Structure 1
Amino acid sequence: MSVPGSRQPSPLPSMSLRGAVDLSALKARATATPPAHAPSASAANSAASSSAQAQTSREQPGADSGQTIQIDEANFPQLVQLSAQVPVVVLLWAQYSPESQRMRDELAAEVAGYGGRLAYATADIEAFPQLAQALAIQAVPTAVAFLKGQPIPLFQGAAAPDQSRQLFEELLRVAEANGVTGTVDGEPASAPAEPPLPPRLQEAYEALEVGNYAAAEAALTKELAEHPADHEAKAMLAQVHLMSRVESLGQDEAERVRAAAASSPDDVEAQLAVADLDLVGGHVEDAFARLVGFIAKNFGPEREQARVRLLELFEVIGTTDPRVSSARQQLARALF
């Protein structure tokens, strides 16, 4: 899936959002073994379709303004339908949590700054507990997005404005790649033009477009030799390495590697290969846990090899991602 205007390499479909987020995997995760009477995301899609037929005279919530949508069981199907037109950011909050009430108001202002390219909704989990159950929400505040009816986890707990803005920008890029380019007033969105990439990053991006990983790596290595603190180049190079490794594994080889990793937990090469596969498949925590577990139980050059690879995978996901922060803490405990 190509992401027009994205500064991240696009050949990996499962890396739509930074953090290897795969929309189909996320939908499965959100709907897996839902509690009794809790509406799953797929059920919500079906409800949206039938509700739309039964209530054609009813407006979609928030479709004609940038005002906050208050979600309840009655209008949730319309919100899911709206997410086919514009990404919908949803903040789950509760009266008993002052922090979640603060985040509810702060996000309203942030989303309003996108000029209708995002819709904003809130859900009181005490008034609409089925939604929290269906999405497996463990605490408030929690922010998720809906895109084409599919849930996308954003963050749990308080988020700094720069963190939420970064997530919203990534969400908009994924939306554009999936053909969702409307606004809350129904007009096509006009995204601001991104500044041009530095020459070597542009060279690397063009090389990736034709699958030339060697050329992309060479350009990024030169960029980092001159600008070692270039975080964008570091992240891009880490993705190049990951994409190159995974592409070399066919389906049969991937199954063999997984079997080898299961039967030989001390085989560093097998563990590294399965961690790559997990990350590309959207199982970020599993990939991190596998390598942290290996580091905790092994010593010598293999331990250092796994540590270096884990740090590279952190770059792929993004150093501000909460899953990376958690894995860093686990890595520190494993090492010391």
Structure 2
Amino acid sequence: MTENPAENIPASVRNAPDLSALASQANAQQSPEQTAGEPTWRFEVESTEDFQKYVQMSSQGAVIFALYAGHSPASLGTVDHLEKFINSAGGNMLLASVDITKLPEVAQAFQVQGVPAAIAVLAGQPAPMFNSQVTPQQMGDVLQQVLQIAAQQQLPGGFAPNTAGEAEEKPLPPLHQEALDAIDRGDYDAARAAYTKALNENPGDHDAKIGLAQVGLLDRVKDLKLDDARAAAASNPTDVQAALNIADLDITGGHVEDAFNRLIRLFPQVDSDQQNVIRERLLELFEVVGAADPRVKKARSALMMALF
């Protein structure tokens, strides 16, 4: 991870759109405002063909690859901030967002170990921007320098906005929408109640089951401090609660394998009651990450071996 998110970007030049006002606004409000219905230059990378396409488009202007994980709120928030900054540039930049749990090969191509992360690609050449959470001011500063480099290299930009999302989306079931609204305002008890009600009404509602697991994770980590949690786990490697806390934080930070491996290594070292606690937490985290994820399949097999 870089100490300074702009240190990989050369000195700035003139004649690029100014993002400083938006950065100041973001610092004051935590999230830059964007009116619903405004055009967006965010595109989702859903295949290796998409990835190659957007790399090729960097011959036109700066393409920012934003790497996130669907189970990591910090990375999702970072991509949302990037989208608002990049939209303010009016087509001078393009945002290519990548869920690395679905396309791990993109993270490998950029040699990125965790999320959130962002890489600028200009004329096919990657330049790491950051590989950790950054402030809105830092984000605005580094994007400003990317724009200036694009101008220096005579990359005109002029990207067309994404119109694919303009079709009307199918509304969520009422209880799912109620849960998401509760999550947005930080009311995890209300979100948990809505998802639980949805499951009671339809025990086969897999999305509600996943949502319930995600809410549980968000609620558990909201008051945890990473440094304190790591110190507690290091001082007592067999402390189950300390290990659970670190695993939760690792999942939200995109370090999925670290989380699973920590709990599976601890499993044979504790008594049967604590093993059951670890097993239940692993099953919940498997739901958060997604059953189809190869890391979940691998960890599930390791857990079965530990059980028997």
Structure 2 length-normalised TM? 0.53
1:230 and 1:46, CA in 2 relative to 1: closer, same or farther beyond 3 A? Answer: farther
Aligned to 1:223: 198
Deviation at 1:282, TM superposition (A): 1.7
How many angstroms apart in 2 are the aligned matches of 1:274 and 1:299?
20
Q: Does 1:291 align with 2:263?
A: yes
CA RMSD of aligned residues (A): 4.2
Q: Which residue of 2 aligns with 1:20?
A: none
Total equivalences in the alignment: 199
SS in 2 for 1:83: strand
Q: How does 1:10-29 map to 2 (within 5 A)?
A: 28=1
**Hey, what's the Cα distance between the residues in 2 that align with 1:297 and 1:263?**
16
The one-character-per-residue Cα deviations of 1:49-69 (angstroms, maximum 9, x if unpaired) are 99xx9xxxxxxxxxxxxx989
2:184 counterpart of 1:209: yes
Distance 1:323 1:237 in 2: 21
Structure 1 equivalent of residue 161 of structure 2: 188
Q: Distance in 2 between matches of 1:244 and 1:332?
A: 28
**CA 1:118–1:303: 2 relative to 1, 3 Å:** same
* Structure 1: gaps (5+ residues): 1-27, 32-41, 54-66, 89-116, 120-130, 138-144, 152-177, 179-183
- Which one-letter code corresponds to 2:187 in the other structure? N
SS of the residue aligned with 1:228? coil
1:78 aligns to 2:49 (yes or no) = no
1:274 maps to 2:246: yes
How far, CA to CA, are the matches of 1:217 and 1:298 in structure 2? 30
Aligned to 2:279: 307
Deviations 1:223-262 (A, max 9, x none): 111222212111111111111111122x3xx433322211
TM-aligned CA deviation for residue 283 of structure 1: 1.2
Distance in 1 of aligned mates of 2:256 and 2:302? 14
Letter in 1 for 2:294: P
* 1:80 and 1:146 in contact (8 A); partners too: no
- Aligned mate of 2:234, from 259, 262, 267: 262
Give 5+ residue unaligned stretches, structure 2. Answer: 17-48, 68-93, 97-105, 122-126, 129-142, 144-156
Contact 2:63 2:95 (C-alpha < 8 Å) held by counterparts = no
The answer for the alignment partner of 1:160 in structure 2 is none
Q: Percent identity?
A: 45
Task: Quote the residue 2:301 is aligned against.
Answer: 329
Taking the aligned partners of 1:78 and 1:287, their CA distance within structure 2 comes to: 35
After superposing on structure 2, the runs of 4+ consecutive aligned residues of structure 1 that deviate more than 3 Å are 67-71, 75-82, 131-137, 145-151
CA shift for structure 1 position 77:
9.9
Q: Which residue of 1 aligns with 2:101?
A: none
Secondary structure of the residue aligned to 2:209 is helix
Judge conservation of contact 2:286–2:296 (CA < 8 Å) in 1.
yes
Q: By how many angstroms is 1:193 displaced? A: 3.1
Residues 276 and 287 of structure 1 are in contact (CA less than 8 Å); yes or no, is this contact kept in structure 2? Answer: yes
Residues 57, 63 of structure 2: 8 Å contact kept: no
270 and 248 in structure 1: CA distance in 2 versus 1, 3 angstrom threshold = same
